[in-house]
Structure 1
């Protein structure tokens, strides 16, 4: 039986609550004796914007890394858009399959570090994966890359390489690169944590515009509490590998039900 986590609200115009696009069923992850996720049951609905908050080491980033197939769960099942990404019986090692790779293509991720090709221009960085992974025609990939760089405010920097750009510009390029793969789900792993304070706003503005102007599913691990409150349909509080509390941002931030959530928010919001 799945432990109760408050479901996300039905979006305006939906006749029925849709099937989740992301589903974790009894997912655990351990490194030796350190259990990072503990029988996690967690769903995200299509088009939903979900922020994951909680202390360092609570398992937040591990969720994203499992979805990106950068980590293998120890046990449990993960499905994305109706397709199995991971299915691991206790003690059985998961294997990479063609289906896993195809399902993985539905997901884009923006990391804390930018992971750009330093010798390539902005345009080439954004074109690279569509051409070599999606086998997209180079002209189509170039046109799409130019559109996306304009979208993130880098239209005047298409010929610049990453070392010629600020950290905020590099992270915006990384967002454009992830969008170029036409993902159904976008993951953000503390996308402003490596930035100087004066550059954080420009990256948050891009994410804010995506959240408000697209129906893309977005899952974000963040320490930017006010930003999470502003853009999220739902906020999930994690602690010690478990979802402690889940609900609309106005309730989580103003009237949390769990003591652990209240303690965490008092600590982070007083700074």
Structure 2
């Protein structure tokens, strides 16, 4: 692969990806390319397939059809001769090392301090030396404004602080892609800003590819290079934040944004 080809290869590619739960089609032949370093906000009504996109990238859900690629290689499949076959767990784990995810409900280890939460995976999964993992964890917790909370346990932290620890923990694995699934939905309104501030700074200072499912339209506008509106398992409309949020063309997009703005 030459330098020009590498530059053109999407960091994330969904190629005709479908997913059903029984008779319910959650994703319907989805095609989506996300460029290296691109920030994409995913919006849409409940059940439109938004979170399923992130869960598939984390291999928490299996696809029914199509192929997902990450960093130029297949995630859901692996080469076998001249063909692609379904990936085994070893292949998926190796490819998934490129990806970090921050969930709605933090998922921190309750018996570990903020520092230990950020050290655990680099030591056990990457085989990093404890001293190096500690140095990296301290640096990341400082970056998210928690240098004074290193030894605090999750029960001693506010919701916003827990979410910032979760962001630092995901970054500790040095991912190329970061996924955010409604990361402010479980927070009190006054804590939302501190988490969004950290994510916005990440987008400015780090060459990360980022996908965020959100109902925060104002943040999507400030954060994203592109907004994708999902409806019935497909991208019904996509464009720049200014275009899609201010002048949507699709009737269903207009209905959704009107309902969200009325509720806010």
Q: TM-score, normalization: structure 2?
A: 0.93
Superposed counterparts of 1:20-39, under 5 Å: 20-39=10-29
8 Å contact kept, 1:35–1:241: yes
- Give distance in 1, aligned partners of 2:224 and 2:21: 31
Distance 1:163 1:259, change over 3 A: same
The equivalent residue for 2:211 is 219
Query: How much is the aligned-residue C-alpha RMSD, in angstroms?
Result: 1.7
- Give distance in 2, aligned partners of 1:142 and 1:97: 29
- Give distance in 1, aligned partners of 2:22 and 2:184: 31
- Give distance in 2, aligned partners of 1:82 and 1:208: 26
8 Å contact kept, 1:72–1:94: no
Distance 1:246 1:17, change over 3 A: farther
Query: Are 1:233 and 2:225 matched, yes or no?
Result: yes
- Give distance in 2, aligned partners of 1:15 and 1:191: 34
8 Å contact kept, 1:127–1:141: yes
- Give distance in 2, aligned partners of 1:142 and 1:230: 33
CA drift at 1:169: 0.3
The equivalent residue for 1:192 is 184
Moved more, 156-165 or 98-107: 98-107
Unaligned runs of 5+ in 1: 1-13
Unaligned runs of 5+ in 2: 79-84
8 Å contact kept, 1:228–1:249: yes
8 Å contact kept, 2:226–2:239: yes
Distance 1:17 1:180, change over 3 A: closer
The equivalent residue for 1:136 is 128
The equivalent residue for 1:82 is 72
The equivalent residue for 1:151 is 143
8 Å contact kept, 1:40–1:243: yes
CA deviation digits over 1:215-271, x for unaligned, max 9?
110000000000000110000000110000111110001111111111111110122
8 Å contact kept, 1:76–1:87: no
CA drift at 1:136: 0.3
Give SS of 1:220's match: strand
The equivalent residue for 2:101 is 109
- Give distance in 1, aligned partners of 2:89 and 2:137: 29
Give SS of 2:8's match: coil
Give SS of 2:76's match: strand
Q: TM-score, normalization: structure 1?
A: 0.91
Query: Are 1:254 and 2:246 matched, yes or no?
Result: yes
- Give distance in 2, aligned partners of 1:147 and 1:240: 42
8 Å contact kept, 1:58–1:241: yes
Q: How many residues align?
A: 254
CA drift at 1:32: 0.8
Give SS of 2:192's match: helix
Of 36, 39, 43, the match for 1:53:
43
The equivalent residue for 1:18 is 8
- Give distance in 1, aligned partners of 2:86 and 2:5: 37
CA drift at 1:98: 2.2
8 Å contact kept, 1:75–1:87: no
